[in-house]
Chain A
Amino acid sequence: MFKNIQQKLLLNHPLLWNSKVIIFAILALFFHIIFFLLGYSKGEIDFTDSNDYYSYGTDSFTTISVSVLITILMFIIWLVYYSRNNAFKSFYPKNKLSLFKEWLLILLFCTLNATYAVSFFYAKDLRARNYYSEEEISKRLETITLSSLFVEGAFEESNFIIEEINGKSVRIERDSFKYVNRNYSLKSLLNKQMRSFNYFTGLKDSLIELKAKRWLVENKKDSVQWLFGEFFKLSKEHNLTSNITPEKWTELIYDYPEFTKYITVGRTHTENDPIYNYYDGVDNNYDYAVETVDSPENAAIDTLSKTIKIVNGQEFVYSKYYVPYNALAKSYGKISNAYENPDVDFDFILSFIYLSIGLSLAVFSFKVTSGKNWLIAFVSLGVVGIITGIFSVIIGGSFTFPIICMLVFLSLLLHFVLILKIKESKGISGITLNQILWIMPGFIPLLYFLVFEIIKETSGYNDYVYIYNSKAKQFPQVEWMEQHFHDAITLNILFVFIFLLIISIQIKKWKGIAEA
């Protein structure tokens, strides 16, 4: 099949035949499919798992290592075939856009070949998102979030407040707090923290919390009972067990109007977990409320809610009553994360696009100049980089390095334009052309960084930040620059394409100039 494809390309599209991109793109797609399937399989969620540790670290490392290995191997093999015929170097006829098309082909292969890991991580998240429709998942996450108020967990309001009295900050101890015109004990369910998912916005979190606490304040026991029913439906669907029923759960926690006398319902059937377990996609916002009651380590065991078992001299504390909250939080946390914080996000894709552009330019510059020019350009640019770096450190200030880099780029560009204009001899322009192509993608980001630094410097932003530790609200230009950094980096890709289009036309003219 490959032979037939190559024969047709040879006769009809010599550039495609020469670049071998079609064959290697097919191979790369094959690897993408494998990585995608692996990712999809690894994205399976174990709804019964409530362990408090990350389980995907090894997968990520292995996947990235294997994908890098395949990338390097494929790249080397492709390069061997690709460098077999150089029509441009042999002065075969080329139209105006031929070199640009060739770069696009190189970029296509480099992108496909550098992004196997993207397929893996995308498929992993996709699998998680594919379990339920987004509408359904939103409903389920809300059920679990609401239920978090009624299982063991941290409290919200602290046992003291700081008040300003006669110009001094004074710590005032307390054992109650005010909520909707009424004082509640700090141990009341109304002081419980809700554990939400990153799927919801802060506003939505507040609305959900308000909804649950309103039920309690307004004595809507049926709603609480309904919520527990929904929770148990989820548990049953995932074969999770509990030693209570929804009705029993209501009975254990419902204590209108104070909600102080309740039995703590555990979040797992195993030994009592510390409160501070971390799951992906689940908000963990306990850290500022530890002083509400005694910390779990120091608290006397609530024997109504807990039981102690001693196995081989080791003491284990169990909740007497439990629901499978942790298992649901962990598994649905992964789904929430797949929506809100997927591995393959814009930054991830952007970094791979830049990696591919970098690789493609390294190959393209080699193709249009020579191996010798490429190597000299690499070494000399490295030396210039080191000298510039040392010089920048000596001079100090954040402007020096970007300014020198930009001046180097502009000087190289000017040299290239002069060579094109004079049309006598290429001289060292084969070397400088390599460097122009390599530095070019960094020009706009460097310019952006420089302008940003200048704005910060001239507006006094840096001093302000140091003194007041405040952000840029008073500095709209700085804020604008900060907000639009991503846009600049994205637009820079367009600049790279436009630059390549223009320079590839000029490179063809440059190639015709005498070597010496």
Chain B
Amino acid sequence: MTEFEKQFQEIKSFLDFEDYSLLTKRIIDLTLDTENISFYQKTNDLLDWLDQNENNIEAKKQRFSLLLDELHRYLSSKPIPEKQILVSAKNIKKSYNTASFSLGPINLDLSQGEILGLVGENGNGKTTLLRLLCGELFATDGELNYTFHFKDLFELRTQLIYIPQRTATWYGSMFENLQFTASSYGYKPEENKLVVELIIARLNLRKYRNHRWKDLSSGYKMRFELARMLLRKPKILLIDEPLANLDILAQQTVLEDFRAIAKSPFRPIGIVLSSQQLYEVEKTSDQVIFLKNGEQKNLHAKSSAENEEKTEEHLIIELESEWSQNQLNEAFSGKLISLKFNGGTFIATFSSEMSSYDFLRIITEKQIPLQYFRNISKSTRRFFVS
């Protein structure tokens, strides 16, 4: 089964479970994959119809099903490009003459369809690495190779889209701004409005298209930035703290959007994002780089074995309990390598013979009151607490 077929089956299940919100998004993704104006029109017609007939469930299901079948027929015959490496960094460093901080050496490979998460405390080099990768900073050492075609550095930077944490203000109508982006990126006049409408709908911005920038919450500002990014057809998208101003639900939605955008079978892109939301990023990312004082530590990276932290054999549990450190130490005695109290939670490190089940067994047997626990053996969380 091809990547497209797999994704299509997933989309089909949204229809079966009547999850129209997700279904609409994914249908728009498929529509954009077609790069065909007649599909742009059809999906827009459906969106307009939905505005008036939200509660007409039967008709809605029928229309979605019909469009989905058409999209499937069209895209089944569309060739799926092979995924390529986009950028390869070998021992890149960034140091400054005047500052004591330096970043690197960093090693990474990013391919089409992959998401790379950057985590680490503030001031440890996440933004510097993003700016290095988008060409805003130059590497003082090492090699940074972009494998796609570009004529000059300007053209390279048109394909590397960096969204900083603080985005610049948009002036005028949001819709016009997006139309300007679309026409600058070569969308034909007849498809311009249709594509912009689709992307606005894709990011749940239909209600806000005529709002002014200053009337939008920071979450919606980020969404408009993402809408603009989608029109720019980047090779690599680099986003600094995209989750910072979002509520928990919105964080999950945005991350899911990133996955869908990056992993489009027909238009895959590479995404690098920095965040403090460890677990969410880890769930979404294909690779995670933890940065501590500018140095790299990888989590489940495929290609940079030399940077792997050699602590995976230990079982590391983060837990919250009413018991004191002494009580817990006594309860886990014999199995415990270390137990640290870390601002409200305990970090218990056990030998590699222990498993999560063994840990739970001890909890049950000794009736240890437990509010929360998480196995962070394979999470960058362990780098934060170590």
Contact = CB atoms under 8 A, between A and B. Distances in A.
Interface residues of A, number: 24
B369 interface: no
Interface stretch (B6-14, B19-27, B131-139, B295-303): B131-139
Contacts of B17: none
Contacts of A511: 153-154, 157
B252 to A, nearest CB: 29
A428 to B, nearest CB: 14
Interface string B139-162: 000000000000011111110000
B184 interface: yes
B192 to A, nearest CB: 5
A11 B154 contact: no
A220 interface: no
Contacts of B218: none
A423 B156 CA distance: 13
A87 B154 CA distance: 12
A61 interface: no
Contact of A94 (B135, B137, B154): B154
A85 interface: yes
B152 A516 contact: no
B138 A425 contact: yes
Given A10-B179, A11-B183, A12-B189, A509 B152 contact: yes
A92 B193 CA distance: 19
* 6 A-B pairs closest in CB distance: A512-B153, A512-B154, A11-B189, A514-B138, A84-B171, A92-B184
Contacts of B181: 92
Contacts of A94: 154
Contact of A11 (B171, B172, B192): B192
Given A18-B180, A514-B135, 13 more contacts: A12-B189, A85-B172, A87-B180, A92-B158, A92-B185, A93-B155, A93-B184, A425-B138, A508-B154, A512-B155, A512-B156, A513-B153, A516-B136
Interface in B55-70: none
B180 A10 contact: yes
Given A93-B184, A93-B186, A509-B154, A11 B135 contact: no
B217 interface: no
A17 B173 CA distance: 14
Contacts of B138: 424-425, 513-514, 516
A515 interface: yes
A508 B183 contact: no
A459 to B, nearest CB: 49
Given A84-B172, A85-B177, A514-B138, A14 B183 contact: yes
B176 interface: yes
Contact of A93 (B172, B185, B193): B185
A176 B290 CA distance: 112
Interface in B220-265: 232
A91 interface: yes
B176 A10 contact: yes
A20 to B, nearest CB: 11
11 contacts: A10-B180, A11-B183, A11-B189, A11-B192, A91-B154, A92-B184, A425-B138, A509-B153, A513-B138, A514-B136, A516-B137
A11 B176 CA distance: 10
Nearest to A512: B153
B233 to A, nearest CB: 10
Given A12-B189, A84-B171, A515 B152 contact: no
B152 A512 contact: yes
Contacts of A85: 171-172, 177, 180
Interface in B94-140: 135-138
Nearest to A13: B183
Nearest to A17: B180
A515 B180 CA distance: 26
Interface string A481-516: 000000000000000000000000000110111111
A515 B189 contact: no
Contacts of B232: 92
A514 B172 contact: no
Given A18-B180, A425-B138, A512-B135, A93 B158 contact: yes
Interface of A: 10-12, 14, 17-18, 84-85, 87, 91-94, 423-425, 508-509, 511-516
A423 B135 CA distance: 11
A444 B184 CA distance: 37
Contacts of A514: 135-138
Interface string B180-199: 11011110010011000000
A515 B136 contact: yes
Contact of B157 (A423, A425, A512): A512
Given A10-B179, A12-B183, A91 B136 contact: no
Given A14-B184, A91-B158, A93-B184, A515 B137 contact: yes
A514 B94 CA distance: 12
A501 B349 CA distance: 66
Contacts of A93: 155, 158, 184-186
A513 B186 CA distance: 24
Nearest to A515: B136
A84 B12 CA distance: 43
Contacts of B135: 512, 514
Interface centre among B135, B137, B153, B177 (most CB of A within 10 A): B153
A425 B94 CA distance: 12
Contacts of A515: 136-137
B194 to A, nearest CB: 12
A233 to B, nearest CB: 66
Contacts of A18: 180
Interface string B324-343: 00000000000000000000
Nearest to B171: A84
A18 B183 CA distance: 11
Nearest to B139: A514
Contacts of B193: 11
Given A12-B183, A514-B136, A423 B189 contact: no
Contacts of B171: 84-85
A423 B153 contact: yes
Contacts of A10: 176, 179-180, 183
Interface string B275-302: 0000000000000000000000000000
Contacts of A516: 136-138
Contact of B152 (A12, A14, A508): A508
Nearest to A87: B184
A87 B186 CA distance: 13
B313 to A, nearest CB: 41
Contacts of B179: 10-11
A376 B279 CA distance: 45
B307 to A, nearest CB: 24
A455 B154 CA distance: 46
B29 to A, nearest CB: 23
Contacts of B154: 91, 94, 508-509, 511-512
A514 B138 CA distance: 6
B180 A91 contact: no
Nearest to A11: B189
Contacts of A508: 152, 154
Nearest to A424: B138
A509 B193 CA distance: 31
A513 B155 CA distance: 11
Contacts of A512: 135, 152-157
